[in-house]
Amino acid sequence: MAVETRQGHTFGDRMPRKEDGRFIRGRGHYVDDIQLPGMLHSAILRSPFAHARINGIDVSAALDHPKVRAVITGKDLEEQGLAWMPTIAGDTQAVLATDKVRFQGQEVAFVVADDRYSAQDALELIEVDYEPLPVIVETPRALDPDAPVIRDDKAEQTNNIIFEWEHGDREATERAFEQADVTVKQEMIYPRVHPAPMETCGAVADYDVGTEKMTLWVTSQAPHAHRTLAAIVTGLPEQQIRIISPDIGGGFGNKVPIYPGYVCVAVASLVLGRPVKWMESRAENLMSTSFARDYHMVGEIAANKDGNILGVRVDVLSDHGAFNAHAQPGDIWPMGFFAIFPSCYDAPAAYAEATGVYSNKAPGGIAYRCSFRVTEAIYLMERTMDVLADELGMDPVELRRKNLIPAEKQPYESVMGWTYDGGDYHAALDEALRIADYQALLEEQKEAREQGRIMGIGVSTFTEIVGAGPKKKCHIAGLEMFDSAELRIHPTGKAVLKIGVQSQGQGHETTFAQIVAGELGIPAEDVDVHHGDTDHTPYGLGTYGSRSTPVGGAAAAVVSRKIREKAKKIAAHLLEAAEGDLEWVDGGFQVKGSPGQRKEMGEIAFAAYTNTPPDEEAGLEGVAYYDPPEMTYPFGAYICVVEIDKGTGQVDVKRFIAVDDCGVRINPMIVEGQIHGGLAQGIGTALMEVIEFDEEGNHLNSNFMDYLIPTSMEVPKEWETGETVTPSTHHPLGARGVAESPTVGSPAAVVNAVVDALSPYGVRHVDMPLKPAKIWQILRENRVEPF
């Protein structure tokens, strides 16, 4: 039987996303779509205080509600040893508060009822006797000798310090500063922001008393890791836990941690023997799930008079909230990959020190569309570079060009201990300048200033660091950071690829199929990609820190290549040729020099089940666990053009030019889409996003009317994207991650543009977010006429 090999999409094509059909037609299947027979609903009672002792909780009136099935408190969990859970950063976090509440919105009790409305109503029937305590929301206050000790539940904790960290060569950096012609120092805050995914967090737990199996549908970016942690925490056998992460409506790091709601829903299902659903509201998501950033930083650069960097020094105070649930790839990385801060510059010396502290704010510190604190590091470096350019009276572009790592030095060994995987930073900058027509822009700015308009141009050049492992360096709660792919080719040449990483909207069902297509000559349309079910996919550490392509994508390529090896044996058998005489051409094996003697992958797959060589096992399938030798270092050059309304202080982003190099692009259309989304989020951070508290620790913006995120009105009408392609020196496909570069590189470009616009008034720095009121104030102080 001949099997037809249909033409279709392959690696490198602008293939429309396979998953979009169901998303666009409203056929996606999210956690909140799960409906099970007999399912109960739940709601969480949250603390109205940011810091208070709990003297007692009375749930009797709530239990009397006719539709309430259970009320769980911290004391109930304590009896099972479940009142506290471990965090990814090695700390503990209260599941339901027992002794004290430590941030406003902290989980205090869990109500299970027949419907969500009744569960919500019953929250008001619970009486909690709180004794308010002094609150810390201003981060530096956490270090005051008389500051209240927030984590007095931990015997060893006598102050609010979580860690003190240093990295780099202190003496060499000090020498650089002593010898420098010019030094600059800039203090800045990267405000506390929220990833705010479209879908909030939630879970459905279904404990089957018959099979004793717990199935959990969870908004999870890392289902396998969550299953292992669930087994360790609850004591349930791991094979009796199945985690399903269905369609996920955006994660951006928000869906990496385990939240108290997930634990409570599982406990409730175990206790009641019925499925229980918990889905948080927008306010709950913004108030209590993981925030990002909240870094208070001082950046310093030492340079000679020509602008050559001699050293970079950094001091950081990092606010982790009430529990240290900070995302970090292992205990040696309390600051994540912050030590990337010398970035794409050839800095001969660098040193950083940092202190992490507790405060009365929500825990988290997750890597919001960022590879573990890279966003903060790059913002710090790019802002300080502009301050240096100002000090030297040098064009920021020229300063950067002078200091970018020359392509000849790649793979580059940075003084901070990283080995970069190739890159031509000058080429990326030149391409951005070409697209922007930089000289014309400078002319335009001159004219605008003559006309009394406030126009600014901001530049940012950076490298990212994405794709954790390698497993020898990186782990999550002890689980080494490899990733996996399992591929099965069916007799008719169609394939199923199962992966350990987890899409939250990045298009993995398409791009991973394209990887297999490129390696095996099977159209991407014929490769079904499965993820997000721990019973049916190989173990993986999940998707965050742009690790899918660098690690999971590499595993998909490696398993395809393993299968190609076996396919070669089968082709040799079919062609009655020696294996050594065959070559792989255009998705099939042919006899060298004799293209007519050829077997397509479809024919080979069929033979794998119907006509195998005598010494070969039947079937065509394999599995690969990939441990990256290093991280990948995508990079970019961004230029932002803004104009400020003199009357209102509103910043209008007129143009945004983004040149990204993520190595070889699997699907250029998806890459561009990722860049568009990331840029929008970066502009949001720069211009409008911040989680605010009053002095009592009340959360001031727990809805989208008060916590602003960008709409199409706040971003340029058109993104001007460009690319350079320098293949990664070690990734099997030459690819690097891409999804986070735009969020990492863009805030600095926007702020640099706004500061440039305001520089005629002597402005050197303005902290994010650059809300109209803040800019308006600067304009008024400088007596700028509003019209």
Helix/strand/coil (H, E, C) string of 143-186?
HCCCCCCCCCCCCCCCCCEEEEEEEECHHHHHHHHHHCCEEEEE
**Nearest-approach distance from CB 781 to ligand CDP, in angstroms:** 42
Q: Which of 69, 293, 369, 655 is catalytic?
A: 369
**Nearest-approach distance from CB 68 to ligand CDP, in angstroms:** 40
Does residue 667 touch ligand CDP according to CB under 6 A?
A: yes
Does residue 508 touch ligand CDP according to CB under 6 A?
A: yes
Q: Is 640 a catalytic residue?
A: no
User: 726 vs 68, 401, 419, CA distance in Å?
Assistant: 60, 18, 15
User: 562 vs 22, 511, 566, 604, CA distance in Å?
Assistant: 32, 19, 7, 14
CA-CA distance, 117 to 127, in Å (whole number)? 19
Single residue of 671, 680, 749, 758 touching ligand CDP by CB under 6 A:
671
Q: Is 186 a catalytic residue?
A: no
**Nearest-approach distance from CB 662 to ligand CDP, in angstroms:** 4
Phi first, then psi: give them for residue 734, nearest 5 degrees.
Answer: 75, 10
Q: Is 130 helix (H, G, I), strand (E, B) or coil?
A: strand
Does residue 560 touch ligand CDP according to CB under 6 A?
A: no
Q: Is 221 a catalytic residue?
A: yes
Does residue 666 touch ligand CDP according to CB under 6 A?
A: yes
Q: Is 104 a catalytic residue?
A: no
Does residue 47 touch ligand CDP according to CB under 6 A?
A: no
| DSSP per-residue codes, 222-243 | -HHHHHHHHHHHH---GGGEEE
The answer to whether 104 and 692 are in contact (CB under 8 A) is no
CA-CA distance, 14 to 18, in Å (whole number)? 12
CA-CA distance, 343 to 377, in Å (whole number)? 8
Does residue 721 touch ligand CDP according to CB under 6 A?
A: no
Does residue 737 touch ligand CDP according to CB under 6 A?
A: yes
CA-CA distance, 683 to 743, in Å (whole number)? 8
Does residue 540 touch ligand CDP according to CB under 6 A?
A: no
Single residue of 70, 230, 739, 744 touching ligand CDP by CB under 6 A:
739
Of the pair 3, 725, the CB lying nearest ligand CDP is at 725
Does residue 135 touch ligand CDP according to CB under 6 A?
A: no
- Report the site for ligand CDP in 307-336 (rule: CB under 6 A): none
Residue 763, judged by CB atoms within 10 A of its CB (0-12, 13-18, 19+), counts as middle
Single residue of 10, 288, 384, 548 touching ligand CDP by CB under 6 A:
548
Task: Give the range of 47-55, 56-64, 661-669, 717-725 binding ligand CDP by CB under 6 A.
Answer: 661-669
Task: Give the range of 147-155, 372-380, 544-552, 592-600 binding ligand CDP by CB under 6 A.
Answer: 544-552
Does residue 371 touch ligand CDP according to CB under 6 A?
A: no
**How many CB atoms neighbour CB 760 within 10 A?**
11
Single residue of 87, 318, 549, 685 touching ligand CDP by CB under 6 A:
549
Of the pair 369, 599, the CB lying nearest ligand CDP is at 369
Q: Are β-strands 52-58 and 127-132 bridged in parallel, bridged antiparallel, or unpaired?
A: antiparallel
Q: Which of 264, 344, 370, 640 is catalytic?
A: 370
Single residue of 223, 663, 710, 769 touching ligand CDP by CB under 6 A:
663
Task: Give the range of 130-138, 435-443, 446-454, 658-666 binding ligand CDP by CB under 6 A.
Answer: 658-666
The answer to whether 312 and 168 are in contact (CB under 8 A) is no
**Nearest-approach distance from CB 549 to ligand CDP, in angstroms:** 3
Residue 146, judged by CB atoms within 10 A of its CB (0-12, 13-18, 19+), counts as exposed
Q: Which of 93, 104, 221, 590 is catalytic?
A: 221
Does residue 543 touch ligand CDP according to CB under 6 A?
A: yes
Does residue 738 touch ligand CDP according to CB under 6 A?
A: yes
| DSSP per-residue codes, 370-390 | SSSSHHHHHHHHHHHHHHHHH
Does residue 9 touch ligand CDP according to CB under 6 A?
A: no
**Which residues are paired to 71 by β-bridges?**
111
The answer to whether 313 and 80 are in contact (CB under 8 A) is no
Does residue 662 touch ligand CDP according to CB under 6 A?
A: yes
Question: Interface residues with ligand CDP (CB under 6 A)?
Answer: 506-508, 511, 543, 546-549, 553, 662-667, 670-671, 674, 735-739
- Catalytic residue numbers read 221, 369-370, 740
